[in-house]
Amino acid sequence: MSDNLDDQDMSFAEGEGEAKAAPKAKGAGAGILKILMFVGIALAAVVLIVTVVVVTVNILNKQGKPIEQVPVSEAYQQSTPVFAYVTTIGEIRTRTKDTEPSSVVIKINLGFDMNDKESPNDVTARLYQIRDYLRTYFSLKFAEELVPEREQTLKEEIRENLNRVLSKPTIKEVLFEKFDVVRL
């Protein structure tokens, strides 16, 4: 066997002895996986933050007390109704029932429904009776009864009694335009 043959069989080309590298995958598979991973982390963070905020706000708002409904009474109204007022009664002066009497000066306005046209005429027709009732009413009171704390009670009593004087009980409100009690 000739040396020639051996040389031909033994010729090595560069890189033939190395294993061939695997071909690179084509497409964006690895990039999409990284993007999806970051999006998933961001969504998990947002959900966690929103949950913490909602729980914290609920705890702060409740503060261990249940929300209670505010009771609505007749004395409390969101807005007061509008009435038509009779202001012709004028100023009334009298003295209290005390041993050392106080001077009482009042001026009262009477409120009626806006649509009521008869009641103001009835008040005008009975003006002297109303003035006499008011003078007598305040002259039978002690000065201690004519204090601002009792003003609402006084208004209710006057309204009830004046409604008995009129032909129909139509007075809805009594207002004190002037209410002075002065010790002499």
* Residue 101 and residue 53 in one domain: no
* Residue 160 and residue 119 in one domain: yes
For residue 66, the model assigns a pLDDT of 58
Q: What is the mean pLDDT of residues 27-36?
A: 80
Residue 161: phi, psi to the nearest 5?
-70, -40
For residue 26, the model assigns a pLDDT of 62
Distances (CA, A) of 75 to 57, 71, 79, 154, 157: 35, 11, 11, 15, 16
pTM for the complete prediction? 0.57
Extract the runs of DSSP E, i.e. beta strands, from 87-184: 91-95, 102-112, 173-183
* Residue 62 and residue 33 in one domain: yes
Name the domain boundary from 14, 39, 66: 66
**11 within some domain:** no
Q: What is the mean pLDDT of residues 130-149?
A: 94
* Residue 176 and residue 90 in one domain: yes
Q: How does pLDDT run across 164-183, given as a tens digit for each residue?
A: 999 899 999 999 999 999 98
Q: How does pLDDT run across 44-60, given as a tens digit for each residue?
A: 999 999 999 998 888 87
Find the CATH number of the domain harbouring 173. 3.30.479.30
In the predicted structure, residue 6 carries a pLDDT above the cut 90: no
**14 within some domain:** no
* Residue 168 and residue 89 in one domain: yes
Per the structure, the count of domains in the chain is: 2
**130 within some domain:** yes
The Cα 12–Cα 20 span in angstroms is 15
* Residue 89 and residue 33 in one domain: no
* Residue 58 and residue 132 in one domain: no
The Cα 104–Cα 143 span in angstroms is 9
**9 within some domain:** no
Domain holding 41, by residue range, is: 29-66
**36 within some domain:** yes
* Residue 90 and residue 178 in one domain: yes
* Residue 89 and residue 179 in one domain: yes
* Residue 110 and residue 179 in one domain: yes
